[in-house]
Amino acid sequence: MPLIIKIVQMIKAGIVGAAGYSGLELIKILLNHSEAEITHLFGYNSAGSRIDNMHPSLKGLIEDEIVTFDEKLIADLDLLFIALPSGQAIPYVKSAYENGVKVIDLGGDFRLTNLNDYKKYYKNEHSAQDLVNIAVYGLSEWNEQEISKAAIVANPGCYPTSVLLPLIPLLKKNLLTSDFISIVSYSGTSGAGKSLSENMIFSEVNESVRAYKVGNHQHIPEIKRYLSMFSGSSPYFSFVPHLLPITRGIYTTIQAKVNNTINEILCKNIYEKYYSESPFIRIVHPGIPEIKNVTGTNYCDIGFSINDGIITVISTIDNLIKGAAGQAVQNMNIMFGIDQTEGILKCSKKKYLKAQSA
């Protein structure tokens, strides 16, 4: 029998914003990916610096220099990740799309099709309505088919990821009897990025918890839009984000009324129905999710309890992984027809499902 050699075509990936927190996590994951390679690292203020000098944790792993973005350099890429603050991605998305390069934007510039909402909540004018209409929302567990065909993927926000994943199944099955839902979330300080601000320095956040952007957080219209899209329901909800004195992680608590006939066994069955083939969703019931159990992973842990007609659902994610870089690579895998776990989880989907059913 002749020897058959399989030639693997590596995905050539570039990263804009490589010096940031999400950029660092993208690099770590891609270095562990068997079917992708980092071709270019782009930056502005960091251009000219070696990436392992910007991120000393990468010493001995990668020595590439961060370069200024150039359309000529992206011509040979298969995919461009953009890990920049919202409001900065538009020209890079345009360049990638015009050069036939697939793109995943980790910011908020392509999540909303209503540009009035974008202007109101993100405080920026949008100059690419045509590309907004092309972009696909990258909630991996609920939009896999569309992601697989996408040229532009809008990676979900970290807070919306922690809200949508636990809430969509309950709404799809009409388990909530009230049209009002309370959502309270807590995030580590890395969610604000590396830009300096007085209220984010250690002495301001340490030994304290504070709410912020109450009623006007930029993720409110995103949660509203995609709850409706994926569940077919448009409930009223309050969303109150808080800042925790930790580096990374999101803890979300959701409360709503349920019918008295609804019990925890039924809820668990519903979650298992929708997420039995989702390698990064863990239903920890009857346990209670904790941030420390998802830190550094792409998992979303979901727990819940029902008491006196009120369901309390708790979810935890790492805001830099499942809320950013991990979900972005999960989406890349879907876009290129690769197992979703590749580069992120040290087991295949089949092994994961076998373990879950054991």
pLDDT over threshold 90, residue 26: yes
Instruction: Indicate the DSSP class of residue 67.
Output: B
Expressed as residue numbers, the domain containing 24 is 11-156+322-346
pLDDT band for position 347 (50/70/90)? Answer: low
**The pTM is what?**
0.92
Number of domains observed in the structure of the chain: 2
Residues 297 and 180 in one domain: yes
Q: Which residue bears the tokens 């690292």? A: 41
Q: How many residues in the chain?
A: 358
> Is the residue at 4 inside a domain?
no
Percent of the chain with pLDDT over 90: 84
Phi-psi region of 229 (alpha: psi -120 to 50; beta: other; left: phi over 0): alpha
- pLDDT, position 230: 97
> Is the residue at 353 inside a domain?
no
Q: Which residue bears the tokens 């949508």? A: 164
Q: Which helix (H) or strand (E) is 243 found in, with range?
A: strand 236-243
Q: Which residue bears the tokens 């998305």? A: 93
Question: Could you say which of 158, 267, 300, 347 is catalytic?
Answer: 158
Residues 70 and 127 in one domain: yes
pLDDT over threshold 90, residue 357: no
- In the sheet that holds 236-243, the strands lie side by side as 210-211, 236-243, 180-187, 250-257, 310-317, 300-307, 281-283
Residues 120 and 41 in one domain: yes
Residues 288 and 331 in one domain: no
Residue 309: partners with Cβ closer than 8 Å, 6 or more residues away: 257, 258, 259, 260
pLDDT over threshold 60, residue 148: yes
Residues 177 and 315 in one domain: yes
Residue 327: partners with Cβ closer than 8 Å, 6 or more residues away: 138, 140, 155, 156, 161, 298, 321
Residues 148 and 198 in one domain: no
> Is the residue at 352 inside a domain?
no
Residues 338 and 302 in one domain: no
Specify the pairing of strand 102-105 against strand 136-137: unpaired
Q: What CATH number does the domain containing 29 carry?
A: 3.40.50.720
Mean of pLDDT values over 285-289: 96
- pLDDT, position 61: 96
> Is the residue at 56 inside a domain?
yes
pLDDT over threshold 90, residue 7: no
Mean of pLDDT values over 165-182: 93
> Is the residue at 5 inside a domain?
no
Q: Alpha-carbon distance 352 to 294, whole Å?
A: 17
Question: Residue 3's Cα: distance from chain center in Å?
Answer: 42
pLDDT band for position 193 (50/70/90)? Answer: low
- pLDDT, position 4: 47
Mean of pLDDT values over 12-23: 96
Residues 108 and 256 in one domain: no
Mean of pLDDT values over 49-77: 94
Residues 206 and 253 in one domain: yes
Residues 203 and 313 in one domain: yes
- Report the number of secondary-structure helices (H) and strands (E) in the chain: 13, 13
Phi-psi region of 296 (alpha: psi -120 to 50; beta: other; left: phi over 0): left
pLDDT band for position 8 (50/70/90)? Answer: low
Q: What CATH number does the domain containing 203 carry?
A: 3.30.360.10
Residues 207 and 257 in one domain: yes
Lowest average pLDDT, out of 107-111, 181-185, 353-357, goes to: 353-357
Q: Alpha-carbon distance 358 to 355, whole Å?
A: 5
Mean of pLDDT values over 264-274: 97
Q: Are 280 and 345 in contact (CB under 8 A)?
A: yes
> Is the residue at 271 inside a domain?
yes
- pLDDT, position 177: 86
> Is the residue at 191 inside a domain?
yes
Percent of the chain with pLDDT over 70: 92
Residues 107 and 248 in one domain: no
> Is the residue at 357 inside a domain?
no
pLDDT band for position 206 (50/70/90)? Answer: confident
Mean pLDDT, the chain, as a whole number?
92
- Is residue 158 flagged as an active site residue? yes
Higher per-residue confidence, 188 vs 8? 188
